[in-house]
Every structure is written in structure tokens, then in C-alpha cells.
Amino acid sequence: MAWWDEHGNGPTCAELIEAVFEIDDWDAAIEDPGRTLFERHEQRDLLQRWLISYWTRLGTIAFVPGIDDIVRPGRVDVMAEANRTESA
């Protein structure tokens, strides 16, 4: 939890990916001479979005794409959020 506390409200997706994998140069991490640099960047972005989505579905993190830029630990209880919004 101390790592999460260092990021105020929470880290961005990019900060979380950097902390988990500690890869300075993603272009050199996996050699793929059959793809252009643009294609490798697109593949990297797809992989990172998939990881965030997968961790969210597992309940490891809470992140809602397009709504929030911050990643939080744990699962968001959708029903509790809906009930709180209705009662306000």
C-alpha cells in the first residue's frame, strides 16, 4: 500500500505498468524485426490496455476507461456506487 500512497489519489495506467514491469525500453524488450516501429508501439499499447483490463476484471485494481485516469487498488462495488448516487 505504501507504493499506492506515493501517488496521491492513485497512479495512472502508465505509472502502474512501469512499476510492475520495470522496463526502461519497451522497444528493446522483445525483438521483433518483422514489424515496423509504429506496429511495435501499437502492439505494446494494446498489450498494456489488455493488462489493465485483465487486472480490473480480476478485481486486483479498479479502473474505468474513459471515465477516470487514476488506477485504484481493489474492486469497485458497482451496486454500492449506484445506491449511493440514487440516495444523493
pLDDT tens, position by position, 42-86: 988 999 999 999 999 998 888 888 877 888 888 766 665 556 666
What is the distance between the alpha carbons of residues 22 and 72, in angstroms, rounded to a whole number? 19
Residue 38 has pLDDT above 80, yes or no: yes
DSSP H or E run through 72: strand 72-73
H-type alpha helices, 1-88: 2-5, 13-21, 26-29, 37-58, 78-87
Residue 27 has pLDDT above 70, yes or no: yes
Q: Which of 76, 60, 59 is nearest to 20 (CA)?
A: 60
What is the distance between the alpha carbons of residues 58 and 34, in angstroms, rounded to a whole number? 33
